[in-house]
């Protein structure tokens, strides 16, 4: 009963001395909340003080109430004391490695950079293997040498000199039936003509190239027969023709020979092939 009476006196004291309208708002530096443990300790201290005053007061007289602000003021909010959360190491929570995803679309090409400086010369490589043997170098040849053992009197103005003896006829480029050399290997050729004149008769011949007179071999009428010669170099193309032609002038034209010896010869050979450098 005594404890209930003390609580009633404290409640009445709070209502009389601390009206709601006269309560002032705390300043900016004051706290708007009160720790529950601190409030409980203040309340217990105030209760002990109040009990001492009650015991020391004259018997039969109630003690004067005294207001102690041990409880939170009206309008104040109670905030629990901040407790920091424990920190968690994220690395220990790392899961297993996932599957590799699909390859993405290729991006745009960047701008071409500046060319770098030339690098150092590398070491010399090993010697390679021997290659396959090449084709044999092809050589080009053409040569002929023919003669005549029968004398000839020219009865026409133009008459081809036909030969009856074949000394050399490489690849048969000289035709013994027509008396002409046909060029199958183009290049530079050397030709020579040798004849024996006839006494009291004129000797008049030409070396012909495709129907054109190139050089002449001529000997006037004489009591003595002599050997006459002529030579020339010609640049021939393929299918060109070279031969000897007799020409009849005002006098009789003739060349001498007999069946035992060859007094008339015509020769030619290739000096340089046109395809050589």
| Lowest-confidence pick of 132-146, 229-243, 255-269 | 132-146
Say if residue 191 is in the same domain as residue 72.
Answer: no
Quick check: is 214 in a domain? yes
Say if residue 162 is in the same domain as residue 239.
Answer: yes
Dig out the tokens for 122 from the structure: 């590398």
Residue 185's pLDDT is 94
Quick check: is 92 in a domain? no
Residue 30's pLDDT is 46
Dig out the tokens for 87 from the structure: 């920190």
Say if residue 160 is in the same domain as residue 264.
Answer: yes
- What contacts 148, CB < 8 A, 6 or more positions away? 161, 162, 163, 164, 165, 255, 257, 262, 263, 264, 265
* R_g of the chain, CA atoms, integer Å: 72
Q: H or E stretch including 189?
A: strand 187-196
Quick check: is 112 in a domain? no
Say if residue 269 is in the same domain as residue 147.
Answer: yes
Domain boundary among 46, 61, 80: 80
Quick check: is 126 in a domain? no
Are the CB atoms for 13 and 19 separated by under 8 Å? Answer: no
Say if residue 56 is in the same domain as residue 166.
Answer: no
Closest CA to 160 of 255, 229, 230: 255
Report the SS3 class of residue 33.
coil
Q: What CATH code is carried by the domain that includes residue 231? A: 2.60.120.40
Would you say the pTM of this structure is higher than 0.75? no
Say if residue 262 is in the same domain as residue 152.
Answer: yes
Say if residue 260 is in the same domain as residue 166.
Answer: yes
| Lowest-confidence pick of 27-41, 109-123, 260-274 | 27-41
Say if residue 155 is in the same domain as residue 49.
Answer: no
* Percent helix / strand / coil, the chain, rounded to 5: 15, 30, 55
Closest CA to 54 of 65, 42, 67: 65
- ∠ CA 272-177-193, nearest 5°, is 50
Residue 24's pLDDT is 45
DSSP letter at 15 equals H
Number of domains in the chain: 2
Residue 103's pLDDT is 84
Quick check: is 125 in a domain? no
Average pLDDT, the chain: 77
Say if residue 150 is in the same domain as residue 51.
Answer: no
Quick check: is 111 in a domain? no
pLDDT tens by residue, 149-206: 988 877 667 889 999 999 999 999 999 999 999 999 999 999 999 999 888 888 889 9
If you search the block for the tokens 């003739």, which residue do you land on? 254
pLDDT tens by residue, 259-269: 888 889 999 99
Residue 25's pLDDT is 47
Residue 213 is part of which domain span? 143-273
Say if residue 69 is in the same domain as residue 151.
Answer: no
Say if residue 168 is in the same domain as residue 63.
Answer: no
Quick check: is 222 in a domain? yes
**Calpha distance 57→62 (Å, rounded):** 7
DSSP letter at 201 equals S
Quick check: is 104 in a domain? no
If you search the block for the tokens 């020391």, which residue do you land on? 56
Query: What crossing angle do the helices spanning 2-17 and 36-56 adopt, rounded to 10°?
Result: 110
């Amino acid at each position: 009963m005594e404890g209930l009476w003390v609580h009633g006196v404290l409640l009445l004291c709070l209502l009389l001395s601390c009206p709601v309208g006269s309560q002032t708002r705390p300043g900016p530096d004051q706290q708007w909340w009160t720790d529950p443990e601190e409030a409980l300790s203040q309340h217990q201290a105030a209760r002990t003080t109040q009990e001492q005053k009650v015991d020391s007061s004259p018997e039969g007289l109630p003690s004067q109430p005294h207001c102690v602000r041990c409880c939170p003021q009206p309008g104040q909010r109670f905030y629990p004391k901040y407790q920091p959360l424990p920190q968690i190491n994220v690395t220990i929570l790392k899961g297993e490695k996932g599957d590799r995803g699909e390859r993405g679309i290729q991006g745009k090409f960047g701008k071409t950079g500046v060319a770098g400086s030339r690098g150092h010369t590398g070491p010399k490589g090993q010697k390679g293997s021997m290659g396959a043997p090449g084709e044999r170098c092809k050589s080009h040849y053409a040569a002929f040498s023919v003669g005549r053992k029968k004398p000839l009197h020219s009865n026409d103005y133009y008459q081809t000199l036909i030969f009856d003896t074949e000394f050399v006829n490489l690849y048969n480029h000289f035709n013994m039936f027509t008396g002409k050399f046909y060029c199958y290997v183009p290049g530079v050729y050397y030709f020579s003509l040798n004849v024996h004149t006839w006494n009291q008769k004129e000797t008049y011949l030409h070396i012909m190239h495709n129907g054109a007179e190139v050089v002449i071999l001529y000997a006037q009428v004489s009591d003595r027969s002599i050997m006459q010669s002529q030579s020339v170099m010609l640049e021939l193309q393929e299918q060109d023709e070279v031969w000897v032609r007799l020409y009849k002038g005002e006098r009789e034209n003739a060349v001498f020979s007999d069946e035992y010896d060859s007094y008339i010869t015509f020769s030619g050979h290739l000096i340089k092939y046109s395809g050589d450098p």
